Amino acid sequence: MGIALKLVAQRIALSLLLLFLVSGLIFAGTQILPGDVAQSILGQSATPEALANLRRDLGLNEPALQRYISWLGNAMQGDFGTALTNGQDIISSLSGRLKNTLFLAFWAALISVPLAIFLGLVAVRYRERWPDKLISAVTLTSISIPEFLIGYVLMYFVGVKLGWAPTVSTVYADMSLGAKLQAIALPVTVLTLVVLAHMMRMTRAAILNVMQSAYVETAELKGLSMFRIIWRHAFPNAIAPVVNVVMLNLAYLVVGVVVVEVVFVYPGMGQYLVDHVSKRDVPVVQACGLVFAAVYIGLNIAADVISILSNPRLRHPK
């Protein structure tokens, strides 16, 4: 257990270092964007004196390194400042938006993860037969189509033609759970189709790799059923790569929902980011980028920790 704790501590330290480096890239990326923040706020009719005063108030005249240190220090204390376009506190706006994004990602994961594992087990059970080929064909088709195209197709046929679900996924704090689930039905379907294929194929590949082991052949010689061999012997030993791919796709569900949220006008982090990118609201863009990076790195470190704890070979690499 001491080796495991040491490895976990190393992973956490590396993740913090990576987050620090990513914060520098986010800050530098927002600084080299074309255009003038003060000009975009005051408009083209602003006088040079007004622009100079606003730049001074925003701290744009200070050196970039000093502004970065100040921004990072405030961010570590949970203070992202205020939005330039509306003067609202960014952390207050982000909390509600992040909650909506996590709500959407939770239901997509609740459907896609068990379904992907089940389909992976079925594909291994009927390997090279029609269920395996059908599952592989459908999942490869879904992963090959861009998510915005899937969203618009579902919006047209399911939302407009059939009227089974709303085409605009608007949720409010006082909505009931049933109303919220109905509102997010289409974006959850799109996200499920996008991440399902990758998780299913990785589950299938991991189990097939374990199926070549000697102890699996011994179980077959004992006369155990194929499904029992897969479920009781192969799957538990393939859990580490499966957990890795599941966590990576969960990270995508949180970080990669920007397109889906924009398509369905869902009030989440992605929509919030796109709205303020168009307005060149730099503090909001920086805050959203840092939150997305923290979530993605956090889920990746969680995948590493779970793999280390579940696979003894990773704790003893020699």
Residue 89: phi and psi, rounded to 5, are: -70, 125
Lowest average pLDDT, out of 19-28, 35-44, 133-142, 192-201, goes to 35-44
Domain extent listing, the chain? 91-315
Structural tokens at position 213: 């082991």
91-315 folds as MetI-like fold (1.10.3720)
Report pLDDT for 61.
67
Under a CB-based contact definition with an 8 Å cutoff, are residues 302 and 290 in contact?
no
Paired residues of 89 in beta bridges: 82
Average pLDDT over residues 94-104: 86
For residue 36, the number of C-alpha atoms closer than 13 Å in the C-beta half-sphere is 12
Smallest CA-to-CA distance from 93 within 264, 263, 285 is with 285
User: Residues 266-280, buried b or exposed e (16+ Cβ, 10 A)?
Assistant: bbbbbbbbbebbebb
Helix (H) or strand (E) run with residue 315 in it: helix 312-315
Q: How confident is the model at residue 164 (pLDDT cuts 50, 70, 90)?
A: confident
Of the pLDDT bands very low, low, confident and very high (cuts 50, 70, 90), residue 310 is low
* Distance set, CA 24 to CA 14, 222, 273, 282 (Å): 16, 58, 18, 14
Angle in degrees, 0-180, between the axes of helices 64-76 and 2-31, rounded to the nearest 10: 130
Greatest mean pLDDT among 54-58, 194-198, 259-263 lies in 259-263
CB 80 within 8 A of CB 90: yes
| Nearest-angstrom CA–CA distance, 239 and 218 | 20
The pLDDT of residue 1 is 53
Element (H, E) at 93: helix 90-125
pTM of structure = 0.80
Nearest 5°: the CA angle 116, 117, 123 is: 85
